[in-house]
Amino acid sequence: MGKVVTFGEIMLRLAPQGFLRFSQADNFDVVYGGGESNVAVSLANYGILVDFVTRLPKNDIGQCAMMEMRKRGVGIDKIVWGGDRLGIYFLETGAVSRGSKVVYDRAYSAIAEIKPGMINWSDVFAGAEWFHWTGITPAISQGAADVCLEAVKAASKLGITISTDLNYRAKLWKYGGDREAIMTELTSYCDIILGNEEDAEMHFGIKPEGLDVTKHGHDVKAEAFLSVCQQMMEKFPKAKKVITTLRGSISASHNTWAGVLYDGKKLYETRQYQITDIVDRVGGGDSFMGGLIYGLLTYPEDDQNALDFAVAASCLKHTIKGDANLVTVDEVQKLMGGDASGRVAR
């Protein structure tokens, strides 16, 4: 099995302890994470050879972010150094009827100031089988969007499988780039596309036919998203699979969670999990993507098993503090098999 490469920003996450509000905090818990780095950590936990590519400032905080990746078994040799600061985000964790809140402080970060030519993609992709990026990276800056395009073009020429998590972020895309044009060009290179109904609508104007998701809440059925998958495949003919996560938000503490995969002929769907008493929702989609890549690499002829693995993996992530999903293949398979008891393993 070949190497997986992910590319994006890793940030310093600062969060008040427990469920405190920002105004109550007199100290913050420190975590390092980001969409593509979280995927890399998941894959490393599953025993997949994976490199994370980013640009970090050559200072103590940049070194800490790099060491976090190395500690988790992620390859860091292709990281480039430069710039003055690491991006930061502040997280206020919600509960029950109060949603979580994120405040970004990532302007002028090292990767926001990245430019084409700073990364040797031929070197990065040596021995690689899979490349993953997300819609967060091109939202950071024009330079990050340009380098992301460099990457997908290089990966495509080498015949590497390319995946994306569309990841629309309303608080990003502030630099004036044409979001739809940028995302359309980047996504056109992708073999595997993950996104929910908001991602598809905000990036491409694609909506579920005859359905207003906001009025159906957590009762949305998987079949309702078949039209989204079909429209995505029509727009992006290179895509072999389109995947949608189905999150029902009953409250900040209780979500339902499932997934759908469409291969152009058949719609696969998973069981629906009830995730109660959520510990940390951040990174849920990244953990799904990490599980999906593992599943598609490990079960190439069994899309149902790959999808089931992704949903179970991300279900477990909601029980873990921090951005990354620190679970093993055995733990995911145990949940897939129906054991959700949470009993002590002795």
Asked whether the whole model's pTM tops 0.85, one would answer yes
At 41 the three-state DSSP class reads helix
CB 35 within 8 A of CB 8: yes
Q: Which amino acid is at 109?
A: S
Burial of 20 (0-12, 13-18, 19+ CB in 10 A): middle
What does the chain come to in residues? 346
In the chain, domain spans: 3-336
Look at residue 210 in the predicted model and tell me its pLDDT: 63
CB 69 within 8 A of CB 37: yes
Tokens at 78, concatenated: 């292709």
Q: Which residues pair with 245 in a beta bridge?
A: 259
Look at residue 63 in the predicted model and tell me its pLDDT: 97
Burial of 217 (0-12, 13-18, 19+ CB in 10 A): exposed
Q: Which amino acid is at 148?
A: C
| pLDDT tens over the chain, length 346 residues | 789 999 999 999 999 999 999 999 999 999 999 999 999 999 999 999 999 999 999 999 999 999 999 999 999 999 999 999 999 999 999 999 999 999 999 999 999 999 999 999 999 999 999 999 999 999 999 999 999 999 999 999 999 999 999 999 988 898 888 999 999 999 999 999 999 888 989 999 998 876 655 555 555 667 778 889 999 999 999 999 999 988 888 998 998 989 999 999 999 999 999 988 889 889 889 999 999 999 999 999 999 999 999 999 999 999 999 999 999 999 999 999 987 656 656 5
Q: Which residues pair with 50 in a beta bridge?
A: 4
CB 245 within 8 A of CB 196: yes
What kind of architecture, by CATH, is found in domain 3-336? Answer: 3-Layer(aba) Sandwich (3.40)
Look at residue 212 in the predicted model and tell me its pLDDT: 59
Closest CA to 186 of 147, 158, 159, 225: 147
Q: How far apart are CA 340 and CA 70, in angstroms?
A: 31
